[in-house]
A and B are shown apart, each in its own frame.
Chain A
Amino acid sequence: MSNAVLAGRALAKTYLSGDRRIAVLREVSLEVAAGESVSIRGESGSGKSTLLNLLSGLDAPDSGTIEWGGAAPAVDRRAKFLGMVFQSFYLIPELNAEQNVLMAARMVRTPTAAARARTKELLARVGLAERATHLPAQLSGGERQRVAVARALLNSPQLLLADEPTGNLDEQTGNAVVELLLELCRESRTALVLVTHNAAHAQKTSRGLFLHEGVLR
Chain B
Amino acid sequence: MPWYFYLALKQLFPTGRKFPFFTAISVMGVALGVGVLVIVTSVMGGFGYELRRMIVQTDGEVQVKSRAIMDDAPGMLRTVRAIPGVVGATPYVAGPVMVLANGHPAFPMFRGLDLETVEGVANLGRFIRIGRLQDLDDDAVILSTEVAQQLGATPGDSIEIYSPLLIEKLKSDEIFLPRRFKVVGLFEIGHQHLDSTTIYGTIRAAQELYGLGQGAHGINVRLQPGVTEDEAVVRLNRVLPPGTQAFSWMQSWESFLWVLNLEKTINFFLLLFIVIIAAFSVMSSLLISVVRKTREIGLLGALGAKPREVALCFCVQAFIIGTTGTAIGVGLGFGVLAIRNHLVHGIAGFLNREDTLKQFYQFTNLPAHTELSDLVFTVVAAIVISTLAGLLPAWRAARLKPVEALRSE
Residues of A in contact with B (beta carbons under 8 Å apart):
49, 53, 56, 58-59, 75, 78-80, 84, 86, 88, 90, 92-96, 99, 103-104, 106-108, 110, 133, 135, 151
Contact (A79, B15) CB under 8 Å given A53-B403, A88-B295, A95-B10: no
17 CB-based A-B contacts, threshold 8 Å = A53-B403, A58-B301, A58-B302, A58-B406, A59-B403, A75-B306, A79-B303, A84-B303, A90-B295, A90-B299, A92-B7, A92-B10, A92-B299, A94-B14, A104-B303, A107-B305, A151-B303
Question: Is A86 touching B406 in the complex (CB atoms < 8 A)?
Answer: yes
**Chain B: minimal CB distance from A195 (Å):** 14
Contact (A135, B403) CB under 8 Å given A92-B299, A94-B10, A95-B10: no
Chain A proximity mask over B293-334: 1 for CB below 8 Å, otherwise 0: 001101101111110000000000000000000000000000
The answer to whether the Cβ of B376 comes within 8 Å of any Cβ in the partner chain is: no
Question: Is A99 touching B301 in the complex (CB atoms < 8 A)?
Answer: no
Chain A proximity mask over B335-379: 1 for CB below 8 Å, otherwise 0: 000000000000000000000000000000000000000000000
Distance in angstroms between the alpha carbons of A151 and B304 in the assembled complex = 13
Contact (A99, B15) CB under 8 Å given A58-B403, A107-B3: yes
CB neighbours (8 Å) of B298 from chain A are 90
> In the complex, which residues 229-283 of chain B have their Cβ closer than 8 Å to any Cβ of chain A?
none
Question: Is A106 touching B403 in the complex (CB atoms < 8 A)?
Answer: no
**Chain A: minimal CB distance from B87 (Å):** 60
Distance in angstroms between the alpha carbons of A95 and B406 in the assembled complex = 19
The answer to whether the Cβ of B21 comes within 8 Å of any Cβ in the partner chain is: no
Question: Is A106 touching B3 in the complex (CB atoms < 8 A)?
Answer: yes
Interface centre among A86, A106, A151 (most CB of B within 10 A): A106
Distance in angstroms between the alpha carbons of A79 and B1 in the assembled complex = 17
Distance in angstroms between the alpha carbons of A104 and B2 in the assembled complex = 12
**Chain B: minimal CB distance from A142 (Å):** 19
Distance in angstroms between the alpha carbons of A103 and B11 in the assembled complex = 13
Distance in angstroms between the alpha carbons of A95 and B10 in the assembled complex = 7
Closest residue of chain B to A163, judged by CB?
B406
Distance in angstroms between the alpha carbons of A137 and B2 in the assembled complex = 26
Partner of B15 from the list A96, A108, A151 (CB cut-off 8 Å) is A96
Interface centre among A49, A93, A107, A110 (most CB of B within 10 A): A107
Distance in angstroms between the alpha carbons of A80 and B295 in the assembled complex = 21
Partner of B296 from the list A56, A59, A92 (CB cut-off 8 Å) is A92
CB neighbours (8 Å) of A78 from chain B are 303-304
Number of B residues with CB within 8 Å of any CB on chain A: 25
Question: Is B3 touching A96 in the complex (CB atoms < 8 A)?
Answer: no
Partner of B16 from the list A79, A84, A92, A96 (CB cut-off 8 Å) is A96
Question: Is A75 touching B15 in the complex (CB atoms < 8 A)?
Answer: no
Distance in angstroms between the alpha carbons of A151 and B303 in the assembled complex = 9
Distance in angstroms between the alpha carbons of A49 and B296 in the assembled complex = 17
Distance in angstroms between the alpha carbons of A96 and B10 in the assembled complex = 10
Contact (A135, B6) CB under 8 Å given A58-B403, A110-B1: no
**Chain B: minimal CB distance from A204 (Å):** 24
Contact (A107, B303) CB under 8 Å given A90-B296, A92-B7: yes
**Chain A: minimal CB distance from B225 (Å):** 51
Question: Is B402 touching A106 in the complex (CB atoms < 8 A)?
Answer: no
Distance in angstroms between the alpha carbons of A58 and B299 in the assembled complex = 10
Closest residue of chain A to B402, judged by CB?
A58
CB neighbours (8 Å) of A88 from chain B are 295
Closest residue of chain B to A87, judged by CB?
B406
**Chain A: minimal CB distance from B310 (Å):** 11
Contact (A95, B403) CB under 8 Å given A58-B301, A88-B295, A104-B303: no
**Chain B: minimal CB distance from A206 (Å):** 25
Query: 5 additional contacts, CB 8 Å, given A49-B407, A86-B299?
Result: A59-B403, A75-B306, A86-B406, A94-B15, A95-B10
CB neighbours (8 Å) of B295 from chain A are 88, 90
Interface centre among B299, B304, B306, B403 (most CB of A within 10 A): B304
Question: Is A106 touching B6 in the complex (CB atoms < 8 A)?
Answer: yes
CB neighbours (8 Å) of B305 from chain A are 107
Partner of B303 from the list A95, A96, A103, A110 (CB cut-off 8 Å) is A103
Question: Is A75 touching B16 in the complex (CB atoms < 8 A)?
Answer: no
CB neighbours (8 Å) of B299 from chain A are 86, 90, 92
Question: Is B304 touching A79 in the complex (CB atoms < 8 A)?
Answer: yes
Distance in angstroms between the alpha carbons of A58 and B7 in the assembled complex = 21
**Chain A: minimal CB distance from B258 (Å):** 53
CB neighbours (8 Å) of B406 from chain A are 58, 86, 90
**Chain A: minimal CB distance from B212 (Å):** 81
Distance in angstroms between the alpha carbons of A79 and B303 in the assembled complex = 6
Distance in angstroms between the alpha carbons of A108 and B305 in the assembled complex = 9
Distance in angstroms between the alpha carbons of A58 and B402 in the assembled complex = 7
CB neighbours (8 Å) of B15 from chain A are 94-96, 99, 135
**Chain A: minimal CB distance from B11 (Å):** 5
Closest residue of chain B to A154, judged by CB?
B303
Chain A proximity mask over B1-41: 1 for CB below 8 Å, otherwise 0: 11100110011001110000000000000000000000000
Distance in angstroms between the alpha carbons of A76 and B402 in the assembled complex = 15
Closest residue of chain A to B20, judged by CB?
A94
CB neighbours (8 Å) of A56 from chain B are 302
Distance in angstroms between the alpha carbons of A56 and B14 in the assembled complex = 30
Question: Is B403 touching A103 in the complex (CB atoms < 8 A)?
Answer: no
CB neighbours (8 Å) of A103 from chain B are 3, 7, 303
Contact (A99, B10) CB under 8 Å given A90-B296, A92-B296: yes
